[in-house]
A and B are shown apart, each in its own frame.
Chain A
Amino acid sequence: MAANPTIEPGLDLSWLNLYDEPATATPGKKGLTLKEINAGRYSDAARGGGDMTYRMRGAVARPGAHRFGPNYMSKSDVWSENCIMLYEEATQRQWASARDIPWDTLQPLPDEIERAMCQLCTMLTEVEFIAGDVPGQWLPFISAQDFEAGLFLMSQIMDEARHTDVFRKRALVNGGGLLAQGAGLGLRTLLEARDFTEMSVLMHVQAEGFVQSMFRMGELIGQTEADKRIFRMSAQDESRHLAFGVMHLKYVLDTDPDRAEEIHHYLDKAEGDASGGGSGDVTFPPVFESLCILLGGGVEKFDEGVQKFLLLRKRQINEYAHRLDVAGLNRRNRFGPLMAQFVDPV
């Protein structure tokens, strides 16, 4: 019997009747961004309940759709008011470590300086590797009702991949190599989070905040124009991740203020672990020592480097405290002694 190759059954066309609110988004100054299409029944303000099916916000629910396992049903669990803008900024500001860093300008450095830079890069490539895994772990739990938060995290995964590669490149391009593993940096804490907000506070606000403060001192840490550019470009990306975290925390505290103590509890734990916790724990000896050599300008100027390191630490802690203030979480009186010693009076 000749097989009938037709897969399609008879006509239905009832789906043509689903469109009751014509959407006519027009491009703005930055093109057609997610902001322009965030309108009417398609906007985040019109979000309905989650349904665990990956139905994108505003699409009509399909009868009989499978569930895909639990995800966050409440917007406040994952949302950040700036995620729409941050995603679009991420797409506009992608850069390429292969060509946007002036690798050909690198010159041989004194051995101790090159080793210090390579040690720092060994630690950073390790940190950034985890920083890609952590949002990845949470993406399946973000409802498609809040897809912009998901898109932002996908852009973060791309950013972290680039950071992982750029620090590896730096370690292997100037006569050096990778050095000691950065074990002890508290990275597992980030993977151990069992709630999106817990993860975001620990990674985006605390760990990436500390890293960001360090990158912003890249002019002092970097020994060459290429190094400085790596820190500048990476800092630009980190500031988006940090902004997401701060505004997510603010959104949680604005919509569900009862969670404040719970969030304090996560931070109590993370800060109580050594002098900072998370991937920004720069007190790990190879990291501390390499930073001091770079900041001081050599082993012989190590003491000078320590003083600059203490300034860096002070900057990290104060910026961290300020970000928490902005989010509406005052922790200045809860910092443990290793952090409290650095906090400026308000």
Chain B
Amino acid sequence: MSTSEALAAAQAARDAAANIEIPQEARDRARELAWEDGLIELALQQGHSLAEVWQALRGNIDGATAKQFLAGGGSIARPDFWWMKVPTEWGIKARASDPEMGLTIGDLNIGTYGDIPDVWYNRSEIARGSFPTPTVEDMGYTIYDKALIWADCCVPLYEVAIRDRWVSSTDLRWNSLEPLPDDIEKAVCQLMTEQSERAYYQGALLSGWLPEISYGYLELKLFLSTVIYDVARHAEAFRKRALSNGGGLGLQAPTDYNRVLQECRTFPELLATMFVQDSMLLTLFKNGDKIAQNQLERDMYALCARDRQRIMDYQIERMKHFLWKLPDRRDEQNLYFGKAEARMVKEWGDSVVWEPLAILLGGGKDRMDSGKAKLQGLRKQQVQDYVANLEKATFFRSNLNARFKDLIGG
């Protein structure tokens, strides 16, 4: 570069610097770091960009260092890379324990990274195992106790959920659908209307609780994300079935049960209340062959049952862990189960809930007696499974809803 070119470049840099508006935030930060007045302007005149100046300020370069650097005409101040030296556990080489599953989140739980504490104290979004910043804003989480939410199975279930994902648009054979008798098609559609709404609501409801759970229980949040995604798929698959074979959507689902979920004040209460429906729906879908009218529906119910089994596995283990850790809260759970069962009984008595099932089980509205008898059998099995699931969770219901007791002859 010739002298005249260098002078022209320097003048251009000064002109450009004169046109740059220096943010007040940068000036304030410079003062905090004892930068002399005019040092930012000097940096700009030397051709440094505002971004570089900002990086220096954010990198805590003090005024003396900055002045010395600019006097020397150097290029860019070299940071000290303090973050390379933080005392976290280093040298981790996670490996897939099961080659079929690949590298799972369970495989990461080694050394200190596998410490899932009983109580998580950090109120920020810090990743478990990383080095905390001393002063951070509270992110507003409310759930910091492992006993309230944790189940060890959420770790493998997350990866299983991803492995078992399915796509309603292409994994179900929509072209195989054949027209059904009018009453049967309408019964299918009414059931689909109800189940679509229940699934969508459950997804929206659980989503709203995610921001309450702190990072200490990362794996649980990941698992809940798969649950939310699963029920989203159920909602759309059921809707698609209702709108693809000459029917449509019917009457919206009853709101009694969902409303009691909405009223829950804490996440453990929500899970206990949701336990009842999660169990009942699992049994319903496991019995999908009895209500399905074609192969598509059999496949759809089987896929939904597989998804719901994961939810139930979590529910059972979570409840068992909760009761083991917090035995004083055992009786309290009866209150939530009692409330949920009462709402369930009410909804089971709703004609728009039970009649479609009776038509499907019986084979038409002209065979309602047969359908009702079969529905009694299904309801009995649902309650038996529910009680058995509670027992697996070490919970023995002392005051099971009277109608449920009648159903199982208890």
Please indicate which of the listed interface residues B50, B76, B229, B349 has the most CB atoms of chain A within 10 Å of its own CB: B229
* A91-B130 in contact (CB<8A): no
List B359-410 residues whose CB lies under 8 Å from chain A: 365, 368, 372, 375-376, 379-380, 402-403, 405-407, 409
Contacts of A50 in B (CB 8 A): none
Task: Tell me which of A29-37, A74-82, A245-253 binds B.
Answer: A29-37
* A139-B204 in contact (CB<8A): yes
Taking a contact as CB atoms closer than 8 A, the residue among A11, A126, A150, A275 that contacts B355 in the complex is A11
The reply to whether the CB of B46 lies closer than 8 angstroms to some CB of chain A is: no
Chain B residue with the shortest CB-CB distance to A69: B262
* A274-B174 in contact (CB<8A): no
* A5-B406 in contact (CB<8A): yes
Taking a contact as CB atoms closer than 8 A, the residue among B26, B102, B215, B242 that contacts A23 in the complex is B242
* B169-A30 in contact (CB<8A): yes
Contacts of A54 in B (CB 8 A): 197, 200-201, 204, 252, 255, 258
CB distance from A141 to the nearest CB of B (A): 9
* B88-A68 in contact (CB<8A): no
On whether A136 and B127 interact (CB within 8 A), knowing A23-B243, A60-B252, A96-B162, the answer reads no
Contacts of B103 in A (CB 8 A): 97-99, 101, 103, 169, 173
The reply to whether the CB of B320 lies closer than 8 angstroms to some CB of chain A is: no
A139 to B189, CA, bound (A): 26
The reply to whether the CB of B186 lies closer than 8 angstroms to some CB of chain A is: yes
CB distance from B271 to the nearest CB of A (A): 16
Task: Tell me which of B17-25, B65-73, B309-317, B330-338 binds A.
Answer: B17-25
* A147-B200 in contact (CB<8A): yes
The reply to whether the CB of B4 lies closer than 8 angstroms to some CB of chain A is: no
Contacts of B78 in A (CB 8 A): 302
Chain B residue with the shortest CB-CB distance to A92: B167
Taking a contact as CB atoms closer than 8 A, the residue among B54, B131, B209, B240 that contacts A180 in the complex is B131
* B249-A58 in contact (CB<8A): yes
* B174-A26 in contact (CB<8A): yes
Task: Tell me which of A153-161, A204-212, A214-222 binds B.
Answer: A153-161
A136 to B210, CA, bound (A): 6
Taking a contact as CB atoms closer than 8 A, the residue among B49, B79, B126, B210 that contacts A183 in the complex is B126
Task: Tell me which of B5-13, B31-39, B92-100, B286-294 binds A.
Answer: B92-100
A286 to B110, CA, bound (A): 25
Contacts of A133 in B (CB 8 A): 210-211
A283 to B170, CA, bound (A): 44
List B196-235 residues whose CB lies under 8 Å from chain A: 196-197, 200-201, 203-205, 207-211, 215, 218, 221-222, 225-226, 228-229, 231-233, 235
Contacts of A289 in B (CB 8 A): 59, 79, 81, 83
On whether A177 and B255 interact (CB within 8 A), knowing A27-B175, A303-B76, A341-B49, the answer reads no
Interface size on B, residues (CB 8 A): 138
Contacts of B129 in A (CB 8 A): 177-178
The reply to whether the CB of B354 lies closer than 8 angstroms to some CB of chain A is: yes
* B218-A188 in contact (CB<8A): no
Taking a contact as CB atoms closer than 8 A, the residue among A12, A59, A160, A188 that contacts B249 in the complex is A59
The reply to whether the CB of A262 lies closer than 8 angstroms to some CB of chain B is: no
List A18-44 residues whose CB lies under 8 Å from chain B: 18-19, 21-27, 30-34, 36-37, 39, 41-42
CB distance from A275 to the nearest CB of B (A): 6
* A31-B167 in contact (CB<8A): yes
* A98-B247 in contact (CB<8A): no
The reply to whether the CB of A94 lies closer than 8 angstroms to some CB of chain B is: yes
The reply to whether the CB of B256 lies closer than 8 angstroms to some CB of chain A is: yes
The reply to whether the CB of A88 lies closer than 8 angstroms to some CB of chain B is: yes
* B127-A178 in contact (CB<8A): yes
A299 to B254, CA, bound (A): 63
A299 to B355, CA, bound (A): 72
Contacts of A299 in B (CB 8 A): 81
* A27-B355 in contact (CB<8A): no
CB distance from A200 to the nearest CB of B (A): 15
* A98-B379 in contact (CB<8A): no
* B248-A136 in contact (CB<8A): no
* A132-B210 in contact (CB<8A): yes
* B54-A187 in contact (CB<8A): no
A155 to B232, CA, bound (A): 8
Chain A residue with the shortest CB-CB distance to B109: A172
* B133-A181 in contact (CB<8A): yes
Taking a contact as CB atoms closer than 8 A, the residue among B86, B258, B345 that contacts A7 in the complex is B345
A4 to B409, CA, bound (A): 10
* B249-A179 in contact (CB<8A): no
List A129-149 residues whose CB lies under 8 Å from chain B: 129-130, 132-137, 139-140, 142, 144, 147
A162 to B20, CA, bound (A): 42
A336 to B222, CA, bound (A): 37
The reply to whether the CB of B278 lies closer than 8 angstroms to some CB of chain A is: no
The reply to whether the CB of A197 lies closer than 8 angstroms to some CB of chain B is: no
* B236-A5 in contact (CB<8A): no
* A7-B243 in contact (CB<8A): no
* A168-B90 in contact (CB<8A): no
The reply to whether the CB of A112 lies closer than 8 angstroms to some CB of chain B is: yes
Chain B residue with the shortest CB-CB distance to A281: B58
Interface residues of B (CB under 8 A from A): 20-23, 25-26, 49-52, 54-55, 58-60, 75-76, 78-79, 81-84, 86, 88-96, 101-105, 108, 110, 113, 124-127, 129-133, 136-137, 139-140, 158-159, 162-163, 165, 167-170, 172, 174-175, 183, 186, 189-190, 193, 196-197, 200-201, 203-205, 207-211, 215, 218, 221-222, 225-226, 228-229, 231-233, 235-236, 239-240, 242-256, 258-259, 262, 345, 348-349, 351-352, 354-356, 358, 365, 368, 372, 375-376, 379-380, 402-403, 405-407, 409
A-B residue pairs in contact (CB < 8 Å), sample of 23: A13-B351, A15-B355, A26-B244, A32-B240, A56-B235, A58-B248, A66-B259, A94-B162, A122-B127, A132-B221, A135-B207, A136-B208, A137-B211, A147-B200, A151-B236, A155-B229, A157-B210, A164-B222, A172-B110, A173-B95, A177-B90, A180-B130, A337-B50
The 7 closest A-B pairs by CB, nearest first: A98-B102, A31-B169, A161-B225, A136-B210, A183-B133, A99-B102, A12-B351
